[in-house]
């Protein structure tokens, strides 16, 4: 989708992080917006911020893990704006716990948002996108849809599932008006670690606060604004696969060249004392 000016984008998870910056950057390029999130106050802030660009903005309180709420969002977005051409399924959460100890309630919670939220978004909007001359679906996976790390198994499972779903959708829609992109960000500085459910990190003595600080200060090297701009460039170039950040490119290459070694290295957890010294 080369031209974004005058188009309408529906974005989930737009109250914070990458979703908010996608809204801001798309609005600056003249794209009208239907923004959705479960966090009403954050969503209002995003809507106020982007409406300064002079585009039409509608805000929708939506829990993406509820199928009927996502279908209602699609109907309202289309009736408010007269159509939607770009759908970005961005809402997502994290969960730190081993696969042995995680409860089914927590596993279903993260699957409901990260995987089913994407499926509901695609299926609810597809009939509307089909009616447009040109449309685009963007689903957020992660580098953890490419390789895995301990104590994030549920998150990895959701992001591998998003990748499988999205790559198949891309194949099935190849002869239609709809292009499909799967996004794999590396570490992006957002609230994702603080917003998630936390029980046990790979180094079990680390607290939630320490893990969040390590993520923000050490691992997340790319800003949410830069991530949004990379995703938008990928949409403009109709890229089926969008890697975000230098770390994402590096992990992707390592996984292809040394799949077993990368899995072994990623299972290694540095000692707690060394990790704390990085804070
Ligand atoms: N930050 C990173 O390093 C990183 C890396 C790889 C992938 N991602 C993915 O990028 C996407 C955006 O994450 P972010 O980093 O901006 O995180 P964030 O926490 O800043 O934003 C996520 C947004 O999703 C919303 N959300 C959570 N549950 C919801 C629900 N049930 N219904 C609707 N909205 C809900 C939150 O309220 C929040 O506004 C996620 O899918 C995440 O998995 C992030």
**CB of 60 closer than 8 Å to CB of 77:** yes
pLDDT band at 278 (very low <50, low <70, confident <90, very high): confident
Q: Which residues line ligand 1 (CB under 6 A)?
A: 12-13, 15-19, 37-39, 42, 62-65, 90-93, 113, 140, 142, 185, 187-188, 190-192, 195, 220
pLDDT, average across residues 189-199: 96
Give the domain ranges of the chain. Answer: 8-277
Query: What value does the mean pLDDT of the chain take?
Result: 97
Q: Does domain 8-277 have CATH number 3.40.50.720?
A: yes
**CB of 98 closer than 8 Å to CB of 200:** yes
pLDDT band at 135 (very low <50, low <70, confident <90, very high): very high
Distance CA 105, CA 103 (A): 5
User: How remote is the CA of residue 114 from the centroid of ligand 1, in Å?
Assistant: 9
User: How remote is the CA of residue 249 from the centroid of ligand 1, in Å?
Assistant: 21
Question: Would you give the distance in Å from CA 158 to the centre of its chain?
Answer: 11
- pLDDT score for 279: 86
pLDDT, average across residues 101-123: 98
Q: Indicate which atom in ligand 1 lies nearest the CA of residue 94.
A: 43
């Amino acid at each position: 989708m080369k031209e974004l000016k005058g188009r309408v984008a529906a974005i989930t998870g737009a109250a914070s992080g990458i979703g908010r910056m996608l809204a801001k950057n798309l609005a600056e390029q003249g794209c009208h917006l239907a923004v959705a999130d479960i966090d009403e106050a954050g969503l209002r802030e995003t809507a106020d911020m982007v409406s300064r660009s002079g585009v039409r903005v509608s805000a929708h309180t939506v829990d993406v893990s509820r199928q009927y709420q996502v279908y209602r969002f699609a109907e309202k977005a289309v009736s408010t704006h007269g159509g939607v051409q770009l759908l970005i399924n961005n809402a997502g959460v994290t969960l730190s716990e081993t696969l042995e100890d995680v409860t089914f309630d927590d596993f279903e919670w993260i699957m409901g948002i990260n995987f089913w939220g994407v499926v509901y978004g695609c299926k609810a909007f597809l009939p509307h996108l089909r009616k447009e001359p040109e449309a685009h679906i963007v689903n957020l996976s992660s580098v953890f849809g490419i390789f895995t790390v301990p104590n994030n198994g549920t998150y990895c499972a959701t992001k591998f599932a998003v990748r499988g779903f999205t790559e198949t959708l891309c194949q099935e829609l190849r002869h239609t008006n709809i292009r499909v992109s799967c996004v794999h960000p590396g570490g992006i500085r957002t609230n994702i670690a603080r917003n998630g459910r936390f029980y046990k990190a790979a180094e079990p003595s680390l607290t939630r606060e320490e893990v969040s600080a390590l993520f923000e200060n050490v691992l997340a090297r790319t800003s949410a604004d830069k991530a949004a701009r990379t995703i938008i460039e990928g949409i403009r170039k109709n890229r089926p696969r969008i890697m975000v950040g230098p770390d994402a490119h590096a992990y992707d290459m390592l996984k292809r060249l040394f799949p077993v070694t990368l899995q072994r290295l990623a299972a290694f957890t540095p000692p707690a004392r060394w990790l704390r010294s990085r804070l």
